[in-house]
Structure 1
């Protein structure tokens, strides 16, 4: 069974039940499907008809990563740069619009606008406003659930750029559990995080971009940030290593990492890599694909 088939089957299985340590059955909530899977028949998801006028945001950068991969650390270091604005997780893909009456649906159809077209306009306007308020020219958005809609991002912004952040899959699993051990039992950790990793790998397969690893970032932050800055077309700035000197918005659960480590204001060493003997069988193939084993 291929890694992709196995991971998709895992994602589908998340809507069932798992047994908690207390012996009770507990429903497991799966990551929400991509917006395009909830559309009405005939509601085409397409790119901008006139990119010059339909999009205010130019060359947005999307940092694609699994949950618990160190994306908040990378975000705040990037946000420290004088030309880069990387806000808290905006979850913009959850923003939608409603055509609530027959007349508005008729009007949009006659004007040639699909539901997705109007939704894209809202997304673009919101992110452009966020960037404009910062006074900086480059936006880096890093909501982890964006991995589930990488196709939609590419369609909405044909000039988008992509950065892929990897971390050892077993470390992702352990970090997800440790972030809230009571509400995030280990029994759920592998299927929940593997879903993110699966779509991240799919995005890396189909999109061009820059890849870096969390382990390399914390071991050699200057070197990794220099390479990333070169990809983004900006000069390296030493202050990026002292992200605690700047205000980066709230460190709250739901919009990024919220634990003490991120609040240190500087890079903290990562945990030792797990051995292959500690690797859950479900993670073996994604580990091979990411060259961790």
Structure 2
């Protein structure tokens, strides 16, 4: 199975990638279109030159790899994607050859975290609009709404929500998904030292989040613009299983 997990930044996406890597039967790819995105937009992201130098910048070649065999002879191929990378010129037709899942997080939480790493973020940087567009495209192509999972639900009860997600994907859940070794993964992208500090120090999912952060006016306006896109996808999210005990 090829699983394409679509999110924006600061959205539990790296922890989810580690969870699937910990299964042992999943090869992983970390943001395969990032180098092509930076090369085409000219955006000055941290480690820009290193990302472009180490990555593939031909979108067609990337797409061919994403729909090909799983690396290393693994049974499954988990792909961590950023929605904002799917700009004009990046093909989307390959998405019908994978199982698409949309990972969402409340925009206020995304902005509070992202603004600590990236100065003056815009709505386009966060991927909410692009995520909704990709969701609609997959739904139109397949005739059904794709899977949606909310990071808040995962952090509240990782075992229950990973059970739900694996069942929806047709995979067997394994408790190995709940733990990983500290220090990162060999298949992390070269941007990991900038963005992955917290998850590199972790050995599993963090606990439930507290109240929504209070944002300055400049960020609050962006969160307000993103909120309808988040809410629309949230209406499709996998719900926690009421029969599973809640985490601690």
TM-score by length of 2: 0.67
Following superposition, the deviation at residue 150 of structure 1 comes to 9.9
Hey, what does 2:141 align to over in structure 1?
none
The verdict on how the C-alpha distance between 1:147 and 1:159 changes in structure 2, with shifts beyond 3 A counting, is same
1:245 shift after superposition: 7.7
Q: Which residue of 2 aligns with 1:167?
A: 105
Tell me, yes or no, if structure 1 residue 203 matches structure 2 residue 203: no
The aligned residue for residue 139 of structure 1 is: 77
Q: CA RMSD in A?
A: 3.4
Q: 1:123 to 1:193 in 2, by over 3 A?
A: closer
8 Å CA contact 1:88–1:249 kept in 2: the answer is no
Deviation at 1:210, TM superposition (A): 1.0
Instruction: Give the Cα separation in 2 of the matches to 1:161 and 1:140.
Output: 10
Q: What's the counterpart of residue 236 of structure 1?
A: 173
Matches within 5 A, 1:61-210: 61-91=3-33, 94=36, 120-121=60-61, 123-125=63-65, 128=68, 131-133=70-72, 135-145=73-83, 148=86, 154-178=92-116, 180=117, 184-185=118-119, 188-194=120-126, 196-207=127-138, 208-210=145-147
Between structure 1 and structure 2, the one with the greater Rg is 1
Q: Which runs of 5+ in 1 are unaligned?
A: 1-58, 96-117
Give yes or no for contact 1:65–1:147 (8 Å, CA) kept in 2: no
Alignment check: 8 A CA contact 2:5 2:79 kept = yes
Q: Relative to structure 1, is the Cα distance of residues 245 and 137 closer, same or farther in structure 2, using a 3 angstrom cutoff?
A: farther
- Tell me if structure 1 keeps the 8 A contact 2:19–2:178: yes
Distance between the aligned counterparts of 1:289 and 1:125, measured in 2? 30
Q: 2:223 aligned with 1:283, yes or no? A: yes
Deviation at 1:143, TM superposition (A): 3.0
Alpha-carbon spacing, 1:239–1:200, altered in 2? closer, same or farther (3 Å): same
TM-score, structure 1 as length reference = 0.58
Q: Give distance in 1, aligned partners of 2:176 and 2:24.
A: 9
Matched, 1:219 2:150: no
Q: Secondary structure at the match of 1:205?
A: helix
SS where residue 163 of structure 1 aligns? Answer: strand
Give how far 1:63 is off.
0.8
The 8 Å contact of residues 7 and 102 in structure 2, kept in 1 or not, is answered as yes
